[in-house]
A = this chain, B = another copy of it.
Amino acid sequence: MVYVALISYTPDPERTIAAAARVSASPAGASQLMQKLTPQAVDRLLTRLISSGHLSVFEHASFTFAIEGISRVTSHQLVRHRMASYTQQSQRYVSLKDFDYITPATIGAKHDLKARYQEMVHAAHSLYLEMLDAGIPAEDARYVLPQAGETKLVMTMNARELIHVCALRLCLRAQWEIVELFEKVKAEVERVAPRLGAELKPKCYRLGYCDEAVSCGIFPTAAEIAERKTKELTSGKG
């Protein structure tokens, strides 16, 4: 079960972003601008920055999360986002006496398969423990462990990258576990920075269409939009 806690972040993140943005087109310096900006001005400025794609200023605010209860399947996907910092629990240096793991809902829904899935995971973990007892190092014994195994990590990501990653990972075509992870990341950000949190959304909301091969239904694909237009033109003629 995914657990996400925001353990640290740039204080007053939206104002920090707004003050930085103002420096670009103002004769005043940032210290001064930090004080003068009203909440309304911050809000208006963030809206304008996003609609015009001036996203680099969003790098000035960053967020550090404690993440637990995700599978190694998902942590492997997660760390592919390179514009962030990760520190992950090591399977080389930590021996896993207990083995927490994820059961995908599709498997959980089939009673018989679920039982056999759980047995298999437990059997693999038992062999892992036995190998440790036989003197196999943890770093080697772990090869037998299923990818379902849970991991813990600390992740720091700036607001620009959060916008980018959420665009990809809140898309319902992403795998369900990483969608859940970023829904919780979004909730944590929204708690302390509501304006920014509102911008953490799937890419289709920004594009106005779905750029995947098959749409989840929220927005039509570009091909479907083109088809509709053709139909409208044709039916208009008749």
**Chain A residues near B (Cβ < 8 Å):** 3, 5, 7-12, 16, 19-21, 23-27, 29-31, 34, 51-53, 56-57, 59-62, 64, 66, 68, 71-73, 75-76, 79-80, 82-83, 85-94, 97, 101-104, 106-107, 110, 113, 116-117, 120-121, 123-124, 127, 130-131, 134, 136-137, 139-149, 152-154, 156, 158, 175, 203, 211-213, 222
Please determine whether A60 and B34 come into contact, CB atoms closer than 8 angstroms: no
Q: How many copies does the complex hold?
A: 4
Please determine whether A110 and B88 come into contact, CB atoms closer than 8 angstroms: no
Residue of B with least CB distance to A222? B51
Please determine whether B66 and A25 come into contact, CB atoms closer than 8 angstroms: no
Residue of B with least CB distance to A25? B93
Selected from B29, B56, B83, the residue in CB contact (under 8 A) with A66 is: B29
Selected from B21, B89, B146, the residue in CB contact (under 8 A) with A26 is: B89
Which secondary structure dominates chain A's binding surface?
mixed
Contacts of A90 in B (CB 8 A): 24-25
Contacts of A148 in B (CB 8 A): 143-144
Please determine whether B142 and A59 come into contact, CB atoms closer than 8 angstroms: no
Please determine whether B92 and A175 come into contact, CB atoms closer than 8 angstroms: yes
Known: A134-B113, A143-B71. A8 touches B7 (CB 8 A): no
Residue of B with least CB distance to A175? B139
Contacts of A76 in B (CB 8 A): 72, 75-76, 79
Other contacts beyond A102-B143, A107-B136, A145-B147: 9, CB < 8 A: A7-B19, A30-B66, A30-B152, A30-B154, A31-B66, A104-B143, A110-B136, A113-B136, A146-B146
Candidate in A57, A101, A144, A145 with the most chain B CB atoms within 10 angstroms: A144
Q: How far is the CA of A142 from the CA of B177 in the complex (A)?
A: 13
Q: How far is the CA of A127 from the CA of B89 in the complex (A)?
A: 28
Q: How far is the CA of A82 from the CA of B52 in the complex (A)?
A: 20
Supply 9 A–B pairs (Cβ within 8 Å), ascending by A: A10-B10, A20-B64, A51-B211, A51-B222, A53-B203, A62-B156, A73-B142, A117-B131, A117-B143
